Amino acid sequence: MSLRREKLLKSLEKAFTGPICSVKEWDTKIIPQTIKEKLKKYGLQNTLDMENPINTDDDLADQFFKAGHELALELGMLNVETERIIKITEEELKHTLMHKPKELTLGSGPDTVLLKVRKPEDPTPPLLCASLGIVVSEDLYVPIVEGLVKYRKLVDVLHGPSLATIYGQKVRSGTPYETLMGRYEVELRRHALWRAGRPGMANTGVAGAVTEFGHLGGAAAMGGPGNVTMALCPVEMKTNFSVFHRIMMAINYDMRIRAGGFSYIGGYAGPAEGAALANVATDLLIGTVLDSDYTSSYVYDIQLFGNCGRKALWANSVSIQAVSRNTNLIRNKIVNETGGPCTDMFMYEAAVGLMNHCVSGASKTTQPRSAGGKFTDHLTPMEAWWCGEVFKSCAGMTRKDANEVAKKVLPKYEERLTNPPKGKSVLDCFDLKEMRPLPEYERLYLDIRKELIDLGMPLDKVYNEM
C-alpha cells in the first residue's frame, strides 16, 4: 500500500471512530468559543487594521500562525456525515510541515509549469489558474475557454467555467446528469485547449461538479500526474465523504490533490481576526487530514459576498503571511470579485485582491470570479488576462508599497461593494472570433492600467501581450 493511501485510510478511519460532536454543537459552540479563546490568549483581539488593509507586521503574522497551529491540534476537523472529529497529533502535523513538496510539476510538454512555495514579497511569479467556475452557455464554452488560455505568460492552468446545459439538457446536481456532465466538460476543455495550441495544459477538477458525481464522471478522461483534482470542505474546519470521494479519485487516477475550505467573516468564526485564525488552522488541517499536495483556502466576507473589502483584504493578508512565513506549504488563494465584466470595479477589485495575495506569499490563484459568479455568460477572457497580468507583475513588490497602493485604490470601489455593477455578458463586450475585447472594454483596460501604474503598481513588466 502506498504511503498516501495509508494516510488517507487512517483519516477515514478517524471519521468513524473519533470523538462524537454534532454539527450544530461544532458550529455554534466549539468553533466560536475556541477561536475566541485563542484570540484572547495570543493577544489577537481587535488587531484588524482598517487603515492598512495589507499587513506589514511580521510579528502579528507569526502570532496568528502560533494560534492557528494550536487551534488545529486542539480541534481537528469534523466529519459531517458521521459527526466524528478527525483529530491530528503534533507528530502528524510536524510530518506534514516537513515533508510536503516545495514545488510541483503541472501539465505536460511545452505547457508544463512549476508550482512553487512562495514567501511574502517573493520575486518568483505565482501561477494563475483560469477561471473560477461561472456558468456559461453550452455553445460559448469552447471559444471562451480558448480565449481564457490564449496567453502563456498570463494563464498557466485551466479550471474553466461550468456548463449551463449538456446536450441541451439542464444539469441537475447529484443526478446522472451531473455524472455525464463531468466527462462532457473534460471533452470540451480538450477541444478548447487544442484550438488554443495548449493541449498539455494542466486541468483542475470539474468546474461544474457540485457533488462528487461530476468529478467521478470526468476522472477517467482527466486522470494523470499533470492534472489536479479539487475538493472543497464545508465551513468551518469540517470535511465530508464527498471530499474523501474526490481525494480517493485522485489516488486512483494518479492526480495531484488540491483541497480547500472557506473561512467566513461574520460566520461561525466571528470577526475578521477569527476568520483569519480559522483559515490558518484550515490550511494546516487539510494538508494533514486530506494529504493535499496544496491547499486552496481563503477568507470571505459573508456580508459582502466577496473578499475585496478592507476586512477580508486584511484577514487574507494576515492568514497567507502567517503560513507563508512559517511553513513551506504551497497554497492557492482566491479573490472573489463582485463587479462584472467591463466595469472599473471588477478591475480595481482584482488589482487590489491579487496584489495582496501575491505580496503575502500565495503560490497560485484561481481567477476570475466576475460578478461574483452570479450571472450566466458574465465571463470573458479579458478578466483572466487582467488577473494574470496583475498577479504576476506584483511579484517582488514590498508589502509596504502594496499597502500604499491599496489605500489609494480602495476608495474607488468600496462604497459599491454592497451593490456592485452587474457588468456585461461576454457577447456584449468581447469578440470571441477575433479574441479581443470590444473597443469600450479595451479603452477601460488601458485607462485603468495606466492609472494603477501611476499609483505605484508595477504593471510595466512584460506580461501584457495584447
**pLDDT tens column, 79-92:** 999 999 999 999 99
Cis peptide before 176, with omega less than 30 degrees from 0? Answer: no
Q: Quick one: CA torsion of 35, 40, 42, 47, rounded to 10 degrees? A: 90
Q: At what angle do helices 381-393 and 344-360 cross, to 10 degrees?
A: 40
**pLDDT tens column, 331-378:** 999 999 999 999 999 999 999 999 999 999 999 999 999 999 999 999
Q: Which CATH class is domain 103-455?
A: alpha beta
Asked if residue 463 has pLDDT above 50, the reply is no
DSSP letter string, 228-287:
EEEEEEPTTTEE-HHHHHHHHHHHHTT-EEEEEEEEEETBTTBSHHHHHHHHHHHHHHHH
* Owner of C-alpha cell 511574502: 120
pLDDT bracket for residue 2 (50, 70, 90): confident
- HSE on the CB side for 149, CA within 13 Å? 28
Residue ranges of the domains in the chain?
103-455
- HSE on the CB side for 88, CA within 13 Å? 29
**pLDDT tens column, 168-193:** 999 999 999 999 999 999 999 999 99
Mean pLDDT, rounded, of the chain = 96
Query: Which residue from 300, 312, 432, 305 is spatially nearest to 373, judged by alpha carbons?
Result: 305
DSSP 332: B
DSSP letter string, 394-431:
TTT--HHHHHHHHHHHGGGTGGGTTS------HHHHEE
**What average pLDDT score do residues 312-328 get?**
98
pLDDT bracket for residue 224 (50, 70, 90): confident
Beta bridge partners, 127, equal 364
DSSP letter string, 147-196:
HHT--TTT--EE---EESEETTEEP-TTSHHHHHHHHHHHHHHHHHHHHH
φ, ψ for residue 292 (rounded to 5)?
-70, 145
Whether 333 and 320 have beta carbons less than 8 Å apart is answered as yes
Whether 202 and 227 have beta carbons less than 8 Å apart is answered as yes
Q: State how far the Cα of 284 lies from the Cα of 89, in Å rounded to an integer.
A: 12
**pLDDT tens column, 111-126:** 999 999 999 999 999 9
**pLDDT tens column, 226-277:** 999 999 999 999 999 999 999 999 999 999 999 999 999 999 999 999 999 9
Asked if residue 466 has pLDDT above 70, the reply is no
**pLDDT tens column, 266-311:** 999 999 999 999 999 999 999 999 999 999 999 999 999 999 999 9
**pLDDT tens column, 23-67:** 999 999 999 999 999 999 999 999 999 999 999 999 999 999 999
**pLDDT tens column, 368-421:** 999 999 999 999 999 999 999 999 999 999 999 999 999 999 999 999 999 999
